[in-house]
Every structure is written in C-alpha cells, then in structure tokens.
Amino acid sequence: MKISIIVAMAENGAIGFRNQLLYHIPEDLKRFKALTIGHTVVMGRNTYLSLPNGALPQRRNIVLSRTIKNITGCDVYVSLEEALHSCSEGEEVFIIGGEKVYRQAIPMVQRIYLTLIKRAPLQADAFFPKISIQQWDMSIKEERDGYSFIQYDRK
Ligand SMILES: NC(=O)c1ccc[n+]([C@@H]2O[C@H](COP(=O)([O-])OP(=O)(O)OC[C@H]3O[C@@H](n4cnc5c(N)ncnc54)[C@H](OP(=O)(O)O)[C@@H]3O)[C@@H](O)[C@H]2O)c1
C-alpha cells in the first residue's frame, strides 16, 4: 500500500483556522479531486466536520475518532493503524488532514502532494508539521500564479 499526504499549506506552515481551510483555490480543489477520486481518504474528526456536504463522493471516506462511532457514508476507526489495516494492499491511500492526523501519519508516508501558497494568512491555528527536508526528494514542482504544486517522495 502506498500512503500519501495531500495538503495545502502557506509558507509559514499554516493549514487552517477555526476548523476551516485558509484558501479557496479552484484549481487546487480540482487537483485534489483528480488525485483522490476512486481512492480511500483518511481524515480526523475535525476535518470531517469541516466538510460542507459530509463524506466526499466517489471515495472511501475513513474518519478517525474516539468519540463518534457512526458517520453516514464513512468508515470510522479509533486508530490510524486500524484504519490503514482495513485498506487494500495495492491501493494509494490519501491522508487528507488535519494537523493531528498529519502529525501521526508522516512517519508512514511515502509521498506528499503539497500545494504551497505564497500568500500568508492573517490568522491560523492549525499547522502542518515540520518535515526534515533531507529525507525527501522534490520530484515535481509546478509553478502557478501565487502558489505551486509540489510532490515530495521519500528518499
Ligand atoms: N490545508 C489543508 O490541506 C487542510 C486539510 C485538512 C484539514 N485542514 C485544517 O486542519 C484543521 C483541523 O485539524 P485538527 O488537528 O484540529 O483536527 P483533525 O486532525 O482533522 O481531527 C482531530 C480529531 O481526529 C480524531 N483523531 C485523530 N487522530 C486519531 C487517532 N489516531 N485515533 C482516533 N481518532 C483520532 C480525534 O477525534 P475525537 O476527538 O473524536 O477522538 C481528534 O480530536 C482545520 O482547520 C482544517 O480546515 C487543512
């Protein structure tokens, strides 16, 4: 199984404020869909609650929670290990946030799909964990207006 992170982050590491995303970049949302549709996405309970329409369509939605047992359209697990154990061997599983889940997942992840946004947010209370850049190859970098799409693969 390949475990990947997908994240949109400002240059200071910010990823969210008051349980909402910081930016609305249509092309980034398109990329998120294109990469994740047909796959499994894993998210924390807060990220699930931030979704405007509940479970993301055309994907297996896994939500991690120790306090909520059942969520319509989602498979709920009490640990990341159990959640990953339920996934098929050959598939790419996408860890889609938030901060708490990214933090735990990083050591298991082979690839990071990063959207790096040049505009600093006014306020943020959720951040992507610092990664040691020596452990990662930047395999793809595509510059856009105000942001870039970057792919890191673990060395
Ligand atoms: N920019 C981006 O790409 C991006 C992507 C996603 C999210 N975000 C942002 O990130 C922020 C949310 O991050 P967050 O750290 O507050 O929350 P989160 O990681 O989405 O969810 C945390 C919750 O998930 C559950 N959880 C986490 N790890 C678990 C484990 N190992 N086993 C069982 N349950 C587990 C717990 O729920 P219980 O308390 O129910 O046990 C925990 O309180 C929001 O601002 C959101 O918009 C940004």
* pLDDT single digits (tens) 10-31: 999 999 999 999 999 999 999 9
Closest CA to 105 of 1, 2, 4: 4
State pLDDT tens for residues 94-116. Answer: 999 999 999 999 999 999 999 99
Q: Residue 62: its pLDDT value, please?
A: 98
Q: Cα(155) to centroid of ligand 1, in Å?
A: 27
Choice from 6, 22, 31, 46 to test ligand 1 binding pocket (greatest atom count within 8 A of CB): 46
Check: pTM over 0.95? Answer yes or no.
yes
Count of C-beta atoms within a 10 Å radius of residue 152: 22
Q: Residue 78: its pLDDT value, please?
A: 98
pLDDT < 50: residue spans in the chain: none
Closest Cα to atom 37, ligand 1: which residue?
65
Quote the CA–CA distance of 97 and 21 in Å, as a whole number.
11
Give the strand order in the sheet containing 147-154.
74-77, 60-64, 40-44, 92-95, 2-10, 111-117, 147-154, 136-143
| Ligand 1: nearest atom to the Cα of 67 | 40
Omega of the bond leading into 13 within 30 degrees of 0 (cis): no
Closest Cα to atom 12, ligand 1: which residue?
98
Q: Residue 127: its pLDDT value, please?
A: 98
Task: Count Cα atoms within 13 angstroms, Cβ side, for 145.
Answer: 3
Q: Which residues line ligand 1 (CB under 6 A)?
A: 7-8, 15-16, 19-21, 43-47, 50, 64-68, 78-80, 96-101, 104, 126
